[in-house]
Amino acid sequence: MHKVCHSADDAEQFACAMTTTVRLNPVCWLEEHGDAMFRYAYLRLRDRAAAEDAVQESLLAALKASDGYEGRSNERTWLIGILRHKVLDTIRTRARNRSTGDIGLEMAEPIVRGVRRDDQWPTGLDGSENAELVSIVREELAGLGSPAREALILRVVEKLDSQTVCDILALTPTNLWTIVHRGRLKLRDRVSERLKDRE
Domain boundary among 62, 97, 132: 97
Domain count along the chain = 2
Residue 64 within a domain: yes
Residue 31: the pLDDT is 92
Range of the domain at 49: 22-97
Residue 14 within a domain: no
* Residue ranges for the chain with pLDDT beneath 50: 1-5, 11, 14-21, 116-121, 123-125
Q: Can you give the CATH number for the domain in which 70 is found?
A: 1.10.1740.10
Domain boundary among 82, 97, 112: 97
Secondary structure element (H or E) that encloses residue 128, with its range: helix 127-144
Residue 168: the pLDDT is 83
Dihedral of CA atoms 41, 45, 50, 53 in degrees, nearest 10, equals: -20
Residue 119: the pLDDT is 45
What single-letter DSSP state applies at residue 72?
Answer: S
Looking at residue 77, its amino acid is T
- Give all strands (DSSP E) within the chain, no chain letters: none
